[in-house]
Structure 1
Amino acid sequence: MSKHPLMGSERAPFDGAQSVGKADPAERLEVTVLVRRGSSDALRTRVSKLVAGNASDGHIQREDFAQQFGAAPNDMSAVRNFASQHGLSVVEEHAARRTVILSGTVAQFNDAFDVDLQQFEHAGGSYRGRTGPVHLPDELSGVVDAVLGLDNRPQARPHFRSRPPQGNVHWQSSRTGTTSSTPLQLASLYDFPAGTGQGQCIAIIELGGGYRPADLKAYFSKLGIASPKVTTVSVDHGKNHPTGDANGPDGEVMLDIEIAGAIAPGAHIAVYFAPNTDAGFLDAVTTAIHDTIRKPSVISISWGGPESAWTEQAMTAFDQAFQAAAALGITVCVASGDNGSGDGVNDGADHVDFPASSPYALACGGTSVQAGKGAIAKETVWNDGANGGASGGGVSSFFALPAWQEGLQAARAKGGTGALQMRGVPDVAGNADPATGYDVRVDGSDMVIGGTSAVAPLWAGLVARINAGKNSPAGYLNPKLYKTAAGLTDITQGNNGDFVASAGWDACTGLGRPDGNKLAGTFG
């Protein structure tokens, strides 16, 4: 039986990682196989109408999506037959998500996909991985778009920053006089429309950590608002698992829930927990998008990593999932990263964070807000330097220039501008500076947290309020935001490293931060 490399599936070891031997052949694992869409052209046509602003037939319903745009039954059957031939079990399949999850041993998957799974060690730990591409037999060539989960390296990182203690030298020298805000205070500064997001569902994607209901109850009680309904959804065996480390993933989980929940306490907050792998991350996203029980109208994602750390098959799979979200009327808000124009890659080049760089995501960058007497006195790009963090932004090396960004320029800190040739990041922004950050409660302690992780749930809560106010989903915001820029306040001071804020769109804060009531009018 001949096998062929799956395009875009090539993997290389982590920088500095070394193989210490073959993976245990008896180790059991689960792998996500993504099947091609049955009608990709039809979905692209439908989404292109949304981009053009003339989608007269509106958003499709989840219940109809699988039939119109899901995987074809014959393709799903082909994967099942392949699994049976190699002794693999089908543990889950979902036509709308185009997903078949297979279970088996390392030895079985090595044989099925012609890979050689190894155990790798690096400075940050160890993982099971592979080098080179996945291989598919003739009968699956063109049928399967991606095979994820053979490699279980940590795929993404949370984008939050805790505020240093007040005795910190950096704090004393450059942050004197700054203060934090509750999410409600910031919503007031940004003139968010009234409302609670009643009747909406906000999906939050988490790849580790957890929350304690007692902390949430105490936090919302202190704010003087009703606690939102919070539901845990397990994906690929992911669990709500608080670690007790406020500076670990618990900080991310609590920040996301508390900001989104404070802005939209009438909304149902559904937290999708999954393993921090490419398969787990994608499965959490597609589970939320196609959840016919909770039906989220907005998704908040505060995890990501530089595009260079992803396989092409994974980035394409996420992008296709976000296209589906657009067709369903779901807004996907994604943090743009906390490491400025380099995105934490130490090669001297510019990098953008994914999945924020998908054109179908609303990429959320960061600002620093100085306020007094209930009003904003000054707002600039968040940039605390290489170690303190800065708004992620730049130009994608993978995604083509979307129609709604044509003609835009990226201004550089060293002078000069260049016309965008590829997707520019971010789209919008909001307060992210830990020094002017958000009052939150994590693992029993009150603390202040910033980072672009805070901006994604902030925008998600705003969208939930807007959706509730007009009783219909705003959906895919990007095309309309770029067409009018109404409801956004431009940020024109500061830089994130290699890029500088400028009039209009820039690669630090996008089109600017929200002016909530005006934005609600735009989508009313």
Structure 2
Amino acid sequence: MSPRLSIKVTAATAAALVAPTLFATTAFAAAGSGASRHAVANAQPDQVKGAKVVGTPSAKQQAEVRVFLAGRDQAGLAKAVAAVADPHSASYQHYLTAAQIKAAYAPSAASVARTKAFLKGYGLTIGEIPANNAYVTATGSLSQLQKAFGTTLHTYSVSGHTLRAASSAPSVPASLSADVIAVSGLASISQLMSTDRVGGPTTTHRTAKSATTKAPPPDAFVNATPCSTFYGQKQATTVPTAYGKVQPYAPCGYVPDQLEGAYGLTRSIAKGFDGRGVTVAITDAYAAPTILSDANTYATSHGQNAFKGKQFKQVPPAKPYRYGYDDTVNGDLCGEQGWYGEETLDVEAVHAMAPGANVTYVPGRSCDNADLLTAVNKVVARHLADIVTNSWGGTDESNGSPALDTAYQQVFYQAALEGIGVYFSSGDSGDGASDNNGVPTVQSPANSSLVTAVGGTSLAVSKTNTRTFETGWSTSKSTLTDGAWDPTPPGTYQYGGGGGTSQVFSQPAYQKGVVPASIAKRYSKLGGRAVPDVSALGDPNTGMRVGETQTFPDGTVKYSEYRIGGTSLASPLFAGMMAIADQVSGRPHGFANYALYDLYGTQAYFDPTHKANTGVVRVDYVNGVDDSDGLTTSLRTLDARNGTTIRTTAGYDDITGVGTPNGERFVGGLGVG
């Protein structure tokens, strides 16, 4: 079906606009030299407010800024997205080209020209301007930047780190008030994002002595035994019972054929419906140097084909990585080696679920919010993929950088119009209270109504690779101490799939009639966007086995495998299943939430329900590698209800969404071309 610019909007879709905000955007007062200046949002950590000033950076120091630009016709953009995304619209899947979107909705060429002229006027050097005009990059001295943006830069002590940040709101000429929505780069960081990965290697934070030294593979992690090949294979008969019964040892980590079987896709994949012809992009920070070798070793070790020819590729940033192992100025703020494990998990999970799909890895220069946004924008602006899965996020609804929220939304709008599906992990902290001073919150960017938020489940796979049960991922822990479980099961809450209700985004049309009022109207009579939308395996105690090159204590560097989880696993698994659905349909589903919610209550989904009094016994090495320092044994209660306010229930719930894919019924239910 050929793309077209003219879009018909039905009465239903006109009323079903995507992602209106509950709170109006703050109007910024004029700053700088009187009314001739207009204050703009500045991407820097909130923790700078009230932090101690410890110095002044050198005026000669060079820095790079990104000036994010406003798109056009936002009301028309929302209607256009609803039209192409809603299966009930006459324009469903009539996607636009990047050129058509640029002509109608992107920041204009005139806006770019005015912004460039402003920056050049202060002696700044213009850098990258992406194809969709989302931002203008410029480089100059801190002296030039302070003059250009009418602010003063200081260094602050924040959480044990010394950061550069602006002491007052930056501003631009009033003539740019309609053009510029935010600036990043005045502060040395905006907000450092984290992966939604649980288990596996821990990162050793080290700073290289030479900027040319590459980060070695991460420190090794090895799963202890006993563990089960499939759920329930080995029973923990030598430790105390829990809930009046013997509990099984945790699985050693599921491998591709088990996951394909559990989600009902074994037959489809065997027939060639394996995602071929579809490209899945993955965004993370940095790039693991052994990723292709590791992914191919893992695949062939578990009965799959290795990546063929150009089936896997990486699109690195044009400039060097920063805030990583090699950063001699800032230190390894992001834990670069830990991101190697994230890339490994994402690539192997997509390939496990959709072995025929193309995989394109697009890393950010760092885990800084703006760098990851740039990576997502690269996928969209260049249309590098049909699906993009992202296993990272902040700890609240704005990632600590509200200045970038509008910029994220603009990228998501364009993705939807182009037919690119954007998937984000929902987080690993349950209702988010543990990351937000005890106050429940959902995680951004998964909170956006323009993306598909993927929650986590605990999955039991049988000896014959079928799904024995699946329930919401919510884990509490009791440790074996002096012959008894301490605390008494369920123990202490540890982690779980992220979910809840947004206080930023109102309830989108596709959730009405599906999400219970008790969830949607938790904070507002108008209703908020509920998270997640869908779910897949995320629990690290019933997780996936992955393979990665690691550094062992004796100095050897070698490939090994370990069990891992988190919604970092759920998102790429779901993206792989959507790749198969795209292949079956013969066209990309793009922003799929309307279609996904249309299938609610049908056999397309398995509905995870509460699994009471169930756990797994897990044995771990104290040092993470071997038994030289001893072992610990713990009971991990599945779908625990203590320590979190979100619950697994029948129907839609705020841990598992509308459910998990039910094999051929799911991919067929989304449409056959």
When the two structures are superposed, what TM-score results if normalisation uses the length of structure 2?
0.71
Partner of residue 91, structure 2: 56
Partner of residue 566, structure 2: 451
Partner of residue 250, structure 2: 178
1:162 is paired with a residue of what secondary structure?
coil
Take 1:284 and 1:364, find their aligned partners in 2: how far apart are those partners? 20
Shift of 1:369: 1.0
Take 1:34 and 1:341, find their aligned partners in 2: how far apart are those partners? 31
Q: 1:431 aligns with which of 513, 517, 537?
A: 537
Partner of residue 103, structure 1: 139
Shift of 1:307: 1.6
Q: Residues 258 and 461 of structure 2 are in contact (CA less than 8 Å); yes or no, is this contact kept in structure 1?
A: no
Moved more, 259-268 or 353-362: 259-268
Q: Residues 236 and 283 of structure 1 are in contact (CA less than 8 Å); yes or no, is this contact kept in structure 2?
A: no
CA spacing shift, 1:204–1:242, aligned 2, 3 Å: farther
Take 1:220 and 1:242, find their aligned partners in 2: how far apart are those partners? 29
1:200-219 matched pairs, under 5 angstroms: 200-212=278-290, 213-219=292-298
1:364 is paired with a residue of what secondary structure?
strand
Residue by residue over 1:127-164, the C-alpha shift from the partner in whole angstroms, topping out at 9 and shown as x without a partner, is 33335533221111011122123331542100001168
Which structure is larger by alpha-carbon Rg, 1 or 2? 2
Residue by residue over 1:148-207, the C-alpha shift from the partner in whole angstroms, topping out at 9 and shown as x without a partner, is 233315421000011684479xx9778742212113421220113432221221111112
The answer to which structure has the higher helix fraction is 1
What amino acid does structure 1 have at the position aligned with 2:139? S
CA spacing shift, 1:131–1:200, aligned 2, 3 Å: farther
Take 1:418 and 1:136, find their aligned partners in 2: how far apart are those partners? 36
Shift of 1:376: 1.9
Partner of residue 128, structure 1: 164
Matched, 1:307 2:414: no
2:315 is paired with a residue of what secondary structure?
strand
Residue by residue over 1:250-288, the C-alpha shift from the partner in whole angstroms, topping out at 9 and shown as x without a partner, is 111100011112222322211111122222111111100
What amino acid does structure 1 have at the position aligned with 2:666? L
CA spacing shift, 1:124–1:254, aligned 2, 3 Å: farther
Matched, 1:276 2:367: yes
Take 1:484 and 1:379, find their aligned partners in 2: how far apart are those partners? 19
2:155 is paired with a residue of what secondary structure?
strand
Partner of residue 46, structure 1: 80
Q: Residues 235 and 273 of structure 1 are in contact (CA less than 8 Å); yes or no, is this contact kept in structure 2?
A: yes
1:398 is paired with a residue of what secondary structure?
strand
1:197-346 matched pairs, under 5 angstroms: 197-212=275-290, 213-228=292-307, 229-235=311-317, 237=319, 248-274=338-364, 275-292=366-383, 295-305=384-394, 306-342=396-432, 344-346=434-436
Partner of residue 370, structure 1: 460
Partner of residue 394, structure 1: 500
CA spacing shift, 1:404–1:140, aligned 2, 3 Å: same
Q: Residues 246 and 442 of structure 1 are in contact (CA less than 8 Å); yes or no, is this contact kept in structure 2?
A: no
Partner of residue 36, structure 1: 70
Shift of 1:445: 2.2
CA spacing shift, 1:126–1:186, aligned 2, 3 Å: farther
1:446 is paired with a residue of what secondary structure?
strand
What amino acid does structure 2 have at the position aligned with 1:466? A
1:340 is paired with a residue of what secondary structure?
coil
Partner of residue 516, structure 2: 409
2:77 is paired with a residue of what secondary structure?
helix
What amino acid does structure 2 have at the position aligned with 1:488? Y
> What residue ranges of structure 2 are gaps of 5+ in the alignment?
1-32, 201-221, 227-235, 327-331, 477-491, 550-558, 611-638
What amino acid does structure 2 have at the position aligned with 1:233? V
Take 2:574 and 2:175, find their aligned partners in 1: how far apart are those partners? 44
What amino acid does structure 1 have at the position aligned with 2:357? A
Take 1:25 and 1:390, find their aligned partners in 2: how far apart are those partners? 46
1:93 is paired with a residue of what secondary structure?
coil
Q: Residues 44 and 190 of structure 2 are in contact (CA less than 8 Å); yes or no, is this contact kept in structure 1?
A: no
> What residue ranges of structure 1 are gaps of 5+ in the alignment?
none
Q: Give percent identity, aligned residues only.
A: 28
Residue by residue over 1:13-64, the C-alpha shift from the partner in whole angstroms, topping out at 9 and shown as x without a partner, is 2699644222332222222112121343332221121354314270112343
Q: Residues 233 and 273 of structure 1 are in contact (CA less than 8 Å); yes or no, is this contact kept in structure 2?
A: yes
CA spacing shift, 1:441–1:119, aligned 2, 3 Å: farther
- The list of structure 1 runs, each at least 4 consecutive aligned residues, that deviate by more than 6 angstroms after superposition, is 171-175, 240-247, 416-420
Partner of residue 448, structure 2: 358
2:431 is paired with a residue of what secondary structure?
helix
What amino acid does structure 1 have at the position aligned with 2:442? V
2:571 is paired with a residue of what secondary structure?
helix
Q: Residues 91 and 103 of structure 1 are in contact (CA less than 8 Å); yes or no, is this contact kept in structure 2?
A: yes
Partner of residue 503, structure 1: 650
What amino acid does structure 2 have at the position aligned with 1:35? L
Shift of 1:423: 0.9
Shift of 1:8: 7.6
Take 1:203 and 1:396, find their aligned partners in 2: how far apart are those partners? 27
What amino acid does structure 2 have at the position aligned with 1:345? D
CA spacing shift, 1:433–1:398, aligned 2, 3 Å: same
Q: Residues 409 and 418 of structure 1 are in contact (CA less than 8 Å); yes or no, is this contact kept in structure 2?
A: no
Partner of residue 521, structure 1: 668
